[in-house]
Structure 1
Amino acid sequence: MIRILIADRHAIIRAGLREFLSTERDIEVTGEAAFGDDVLKKINTDTFDVVVLDIFLSGRNGIDTLKLIYKYHADLPVLVLLPFSEDLYAVNFFRAGARGCLQKNSGPDEFIRAIRTVSQRRRYVTPSVADSLINVFENPAQQPAHQKLSRREFQIFYKIANGQLLSEVADELFLSAKTISTYRARIMKKMKLTCNADITRYAINSKLI
């Protein structure tokens, strides 16, 4: 039996996924969470085979939660659900430890296939994500600017894009404000941006937020 933890900020989506998965004989939803911190608490107290993770969790966001899952439970497969095209996020989420990435509007058969695949400690990659990953390695100069960022840089980029102050980012990541400023400068240089508003504009135009 594949034990699933569904992490999504919307109760109606969690209920829908639970109802849908209840028809599968080899899959059982044994936990739910709306907040990133709740995900971490549950995986520390209960046993799961797969975490189905929404990137827009309440409280601690999806990429922060994913990083902490991978840090303390590196063998726990995580299937990330994305609201937009997978290839916009995929590289960064795979770097952060995800076993698979899938759009929320994917078909039921593909969703089940993805769960079963990652539960076997294999990666689930859609054709569009595969093309994106190959392009990163074969044509690094042509990849989107945000995919040139390291895992930590993307994490900070994402927070700034969502309007967080550098001091807030520093507090959340347990880093100094000076360190966050240094990361921000690297992000600006790599992406050829000049201010926080440019970061937010880029994220919106690229459908990252």
Structure 2
Amino acid sequence: MIRVLLVDDHRIVRQGLRQVLADVPDIEVVGDAGDGAQALSQVRSLVCTPEGLQVVMLDIAMPGRDGLEVLKLIKAEFPRLAVLMLSTYPDRQFAVRCLRAGAAGYLHKSADPDDMVAALRKAAAGGRYITPSVAELLATSISEPHDHAPHEALSQREHQVFRLLAQGHSVGQIAQSLSLSSNTVSTYRARILEKTGTRNDVELALYAVRQQMVEP
């Protein structure tokens, strides 16, 4: 039996995933979480049970600690636990970054249910589920290591702040959301503007739209 933990900040998404997996005989959803803190707490509890935990299905876009940060925390503490990333973002924005951080696969939330089941089974078996589009991105990242968009040079935390700024959040709102000081967020903002070659939040938002990192 493949025991799965669902992590997404939208209850309706978690309910939808439960329904998709409910009739799969070898998969059991053993818990769900709405944010990173809940996810880490449940992972620690479930891996200690006799049956264990085989796969975490983890959303990328969550308040506070985003999915990428939670992924790294999970892999640091439980390196053998498979984590399958879910997202509504285009593959090219996050897939390679997730796989490099240790994810067992990257799936769009609109993926066919059969593909989700196949991904869970592959991850539980210790493999990586790679779609053709993600495989192409991986090949490109290897063959053209220096041909990257400016935002790909951002650190994980800078990337997190970047997306929040591009979505219209203020420095104060971001500081509160990420449990950081406003000065720290302002420092991240300055680095982001420099690395992306933008001069203000408006240009940063336009850059994000061009790169398909946020909805226009």
Shorter-chain TM band:
0.7 to 0.9
Q: Which residue of the partner structure matches residue 64 of structure 1?
A: 69
Deviations 1:159-207 (A, max 9, x none): 43342517944983768945x5555444333322222333333223323
Kept after mapping to 2: 8 A contact 1:157/1:187: yes
Kept after mapping to 2: 8 A contact 1:87/1:132: yes
Name structure 2 gaps, 5 residues minimum. Answer: 48-52
Determine if the alignment matches structure 1 residue 151 to structure 2 residue 156: yes
Q: Which residue of the partner structure matches residue 18 of structure 1?
A: 18
Q: 1:34 to 1:198 in 2, by over 3 A?
A: same
Secondary structure of the 1:140 match is coil
Greater Cα shift, 65-74 or 130-139: 65-74
Q: Please give the alpha-carbon distance, in whole angstroms, between the structure 1 residues aligned to 2:107 and 2:161.
A: 23
Q: Please give the alpha-carbon distance, in whole angstroms, between the structure 2 residues aligned to 1:199 and 1:60.
A: 22
Count of paired positions: 208
Q: Which residue of the partner structure matches residue 139 of structure 1?
A: 144
Kept after mapping to 1: 8 A contact 2:175/2:182: no
Q: Which residue of the partner structure matches residue 178 of structure 2?
A: 172
Q: 1:65 to 1:164 in 2, by over 3 A?
A: farther
Residue type of the alignment partner of 2:194? K
Deviations 1:60-107 (A, max 9, x none): 332232232223222221111111321221122223332211111111
Greater Cα shift, 147-156 or 104-113: 147-156
Q: 1:187 to 1:110 in 2, by over 3 A?
A: same
Secondary structure of the 1:56 match is coil
Greater Cα shift, 32-41 or 168-177: 168-177
Q: Please give the alpha-carbon distance, in whole angstroms, between the structure 2 residues aligned to 1:107 and 1:87.
A: 19
Q: 1:30 to 1:164 in 2, by over 3 A?
A: farther
Secondary structure of the 1:74 match is coil
Q: Please give the alpha-carbon distance, in whole angstroms, between the structure 2 residues aligned to 1:66 and 1:143.
A: 23
Residue type of the alignment partner of 1:126? T
Kept after mapping to 2: 8 A contact 1:156/1:169: no
Greater Cα shift, 142-151 or 120-129: 142-151
Q: Please give the alpha-carbon distance, in whole angstroms, between the structure 2 residues aligned to 1:184 and 1:177.
A: 10
Kept after mapping to 2: 8 A contact 1:166/1:177: no
What does 1:1-209 correspond to in 2, within 5 Å?
A: 1-47=1-47, 48-162=53-167, 163-165=169-171, 168-169=174-175, 172=178, 177=183, 183-209=188-214
Kept after mapping to 2: 8 A contact 1:4/1:49: yes
TM-score scaled to structure 2, two decimals? 0.81
Greater Cα shift, 147-156 or 60-69: 147-156
Residue type of the alignment partner of 1:157? F
Percentage of matched positions with identical amino acids: 37
Name structure 1 gaps, 5 residues minimum. Answer: none
Q: Please give the alpha-carbon distance, in whole angstroms, between the structure 1 residues aligned to 2:25 and 2:19.
A: 13
Residue type of the alignment partner of 2:207? Y
Kept after mapping to 1: 8 A contact 2:64/2:177: no
